[in-house]
Amino acid sequence: MDRWLTDHPPSERWPHYTRANAGEVLPTPASPLGQTYGFDHGILPGFQQGSTRTGFYEIEEYRDSPPEMCGFFGGYFYINLSNVRMQAVRNPAVTIEQLDLAFFGDHPDVPAYSPHAEDEKPHLQPKADAHMAFVTTSVEWPALLEEKEAVAQLRADRPDLSLLSDQELLDRAMGILPMIVDLGAQHLVASSSSGIAPGMLAAVAEAVGDPTVPMKLLAGLGDVDSAAPSYAMWEISRTIRASDELTAEFDAGIEGLIGRLGGSGSADATGFLQAFTSFLHEFGSRGPNEWELSAQTWETDPLIALAAIDQVRAQDDAQSPQARAAKLTAEREALVVDVREKLAEVGDEMLSGMYEGALVGGNMMIFRERAKTTVIKAIHEARMSFRALGQRHAEADNLEAADHIFMLTHDELQSFVDDPAAMTATLAERYGQWQGLWRLEPPFFIKDGHVPPISEWPAKGDAVAALAADGDVLTGVPGCPGTVEGTARIVTDPANPPDLNPGDIMVAPLTDPAWTPLFMAVDAVVVNVGGQISHAIIVSRELGLPCVVSVTDATSRIADGATIRVDGSTGEVTVLSQS
């Protein structure tokens, strides 16, 4: 097999793609339904609409179908690197180098920018200027709050899905799709705009002679929606530590925990169950690979959330994320004043104005996580309808397994509802082929539109980097300030993490919001990939956790159990001892 059935043809106009940051969205191959319903007909059309609102793109630039701003190859999601760079080419306030660092990190194989005849579009400048003014002056974004409330209402209004007919389940999912398009557009505006402040602050850092300024000034912003579940988990974990009964039950294992507590009847057990039920109602859409329709979430598999809480409860009260965040916020506020005074000494009014705008522009990181959280909740409501449909037809033997519902494409949904037994064997065969894609290592970059045949992709784990020697310094992108020495713990699956203890440092291939609770179980985070606006950095800054991203092959070069030092201000990870 050289191409997967839902793969996109590469763009001729914008031929370079990357898995950088894309791995945070979809770390695994998209299911056919996850891609064609969720992305091809939902998120990606929204992205392209949103891009025109920034003033850096025109809708006429994109081909009609499939969406061109991102791509899918071998089932894996890619960001169109060439396309994203237009935000720097058409924005005099940000260089291509600054944008690459913000979005894709310090990766050695990033393809060089090659100018295209249609890159320059001076007539877009007034609209781009207006958007820049919005970014650098907006401390609130009311539309995002309205959308957040609308999706909360969608969740509150969810009917008993088991009582809906097949057609009603499909109609409910299809009715959510226009909302996903709209929310995707908002997320694109917020996400693309979140790279502006780091780029502007880079010029400020150069002027004051301190390269750590951008990272420190974008820490401790507060009100990051993707961190909210972690704060809630922290509070739940404190009730466990305060209760001998709950501690004993968690010590006995999370398998069967809910049933045991339900049979207890004690005040502690009842209180925990009420808090956990509320937690799942509010945050049940989150989980590993949450953009993917077929993925399990905290609502569909509560054991994932319980496993995270089980890790967090080991932390002492002194490691409170609120306390850590408050410390970063205080440091940030002091630095704001210090840099402002240094710029006044420089006497460059334009640079001082850029600085003040960049401080406000940092809010786009908050808005990005809010927009993302909202679209994830909408996707989850569609997920629950499809899961109900799959479960029903697995029980009726029209599907060999409930998950095979996600082997349908968007265009096959109505045919399935009309004749559920017609595709049983086809969907089972697709499922096996799809599982085969999981075992492959996709190219990190696709350059000049050349997609290697899937048959040539190596198996995951075939290329393993050599262990670093004691004393070696691995470099990456600074994420969140602070220096910590501790024990490296290699974590590859947030749903099944190793035992994490105070003093441990999590080393991960990538992170998405499902990993966030694990941040509170460790003292620092190191990630293989990521840029200045990656999820790991934004959340680390919210939780006050030293972080370094874009440490190439960190999960291979650092042994589990090694003693390492993480400097989140410089981006250096020092291997003190591999044994």
Quickly state the pLDDT bin for 537 (edges 50, 70, 90): confident
Q: Is the domain of 511 the same as that of 433?
A: no
**Is it the case that residue 513 has pLDDT exceeding 90?**
no
Please write down the HEC assignment for all residues of 145-190.
Answer: HHHHHHHHHHHHCCCCHHHCCHHHHHHHHHHHHHHHHHHHHHHHHH
Shared-domain flag, residues 24 and 169: yes
Alpha-carbon span 546 to 569, nearest angstrom:
8
Is 113 in contact with 218 (CB distance < 8 Å)? no
What are the Cα distances from residue 354, in Å, to 12, 454, 547? 36, 46, 27
94 lies in the same domain as 155: yes
Give the residue-averaged pLDDT of 542-549: 88
Do 434 and 477 belong to one domain? no
pLDDT over 80 (residue 535): no
CATH of the domain at 557: 3.50.30.10
Determine, yes or no, domain membership for 300. no
Q: Check if the beta carbon of residue 550 is closer than 8 Å to that of residue 468.
A: no
Write out pLDDT tens, residues 269-282: 999 999 999 999 99
Strand, coil or helix: 576: strand
Domain check: are 386 and 504 in the same one?
no
Between 149 and 219, the higher pLDDT residue = 149
> What is the arithmetic mean of pLDDT over 121-126?
93
Question: 287 versus 179: which is more confidently predicted?
Answer: 179
Cα 136 to Cα 93: distance, rounded to the nearest angstrom: 12
- CA dist 274 and 557 (Å) reads 44
Which residue would you say has higher pLDDT here, 167 or 516? 167
pLDDT score for 514: 73
The pLDDT of residue 106: 65
Residue 411 pLDDT greater than 90, yes or no: yes
Q: What was the pLDDT predicted at 463?
A: 65
504 lies in the same domain as 432: no
* 371 neighbors 217 (Cβ within 8 angstroms): no
Task: Say if 165 falls within a structural domain.
Answer: yes
- Statement to judge: residues 427 and 568 lie in one domain: no
Domain annotation covers residue 218? no
Domain endpoint, select from 438, 462, 494? 438
Residue 32 and residue 130 in one domain: yes
The mean-pLDDT minimum among 14-18, 505-509, 534-538 falls in 534-538
Sign of CA dihedral 18, 144, 297, 325: positive
Q: What is the mean pLDDT of residues 360-387?
A: 96
The per-residue pLDDT for range 219-261, each reduced to its tens digit, is 888 888 888 898 999 999 999 999 999 999 999 999 999 999 9
Asked whether residue 182 is assigned to any structural domain, the reply reads yes
Taking residues 544-549, what's their average pLDDT?
Answer: 90
Is the pTM higher than 0.85? The answer reads: yes
Tokens of 145: 């709050």
Residue 78, pLDDT above cutoff 90? yes
- CA 460, chain centre distance (Å): 21
Judge whether 472 and 575 are in contact, CB under 8 Å: yes
- For residue 435, what pLDDT is reported? 97
Side chain identity, residue 327: K
Contact 383, 402 (CB under 8 A): no
The answer to whether the bond into 211 is cis (omega within 30° of 0) is no
Question: Distance from CA of residue 117 to its chain's centroid?
Answer: 33
Task: Name the β-bridge partners of 440.
Answer: 459
Residues with Cβ within 8 Å of residue 514, at least 6 apart in sequence: 286, 287, 288, 289, 290, 304, 494, 495
Confidence of residue 539 (pLDDT cuts 50, 70, 90): confident
What is the model's pLDDT at position 407? 98
Residue 572, beta-bridge partner list: 475, 567
> Do 368 and 417 belong to one domain?
yes
State the pLDDT at residue 454: 97
Q: Would 546 be classed as within a structural domain?
A: yes
Q: Please state, in angstroms and rounded to a whole number, the distance separating the CA atoms of residues 74 and 36.
A: 14
From the list 360, 46, 4, the residue with the least C-alpha distance to 176 is: 46
How long is the chain?
579
Place of tokens 């990538």: 510
Label each residue of 375-443 as H, E or C: HHHHHHHHHHHHHHHHHHHHHCCCCCCHHHHHHCCHHHHHHHHHCCCCCHHHHHHHHHHHHHHHCECCC
Domain housing 385: 17-115+124-194+362-438
Q: Over the stretch 98-113, which tens digit does the pLDDT of each residue have?
A: 778 777 666 778 888 9
* Alpha carbons 40 and 120: distance in angstroms, whole number: 28
How many angstroms separate the CA atoms of 434 and 420, rounded? 21
pLDDT digits (tens, 9 = 90+) for 162-209: 999 999 999 999 999 999 999 999 999 998 888 889 888 988 998 999
Mean pLDDT of the chain: 92
User: How many folded domains does the chain comprise?
Assistant: 2
Question: Does residue 210 form part of some domain?
Answer: no
Last residue of a domain, one of 438, 461, 494: 438
CB atoms within 10 A of CB 429: 13
Q: Is residue 67 assigned to a domain?
A: yes
What local confidence, expressed as pLDDT, does residue 22 receive?
A: 86
Same domain, 47 and 139: yes
pLDDT tens for 456-505 read 999 987 667 789 999 999 999 888 889 999 999 999 888 788 888 889 99
Does residue 54 sit in the same domain as residue 169? yes
Is 558 part of any domain?
yes
- Contact by Cβ (8 Å): 267, 243: no
Q: Is residue 36 located within the same domain as residue 170? A: yes
% of the chain surpassing 90 pLDDT: 71
pLDDT mean over 19-31: 88
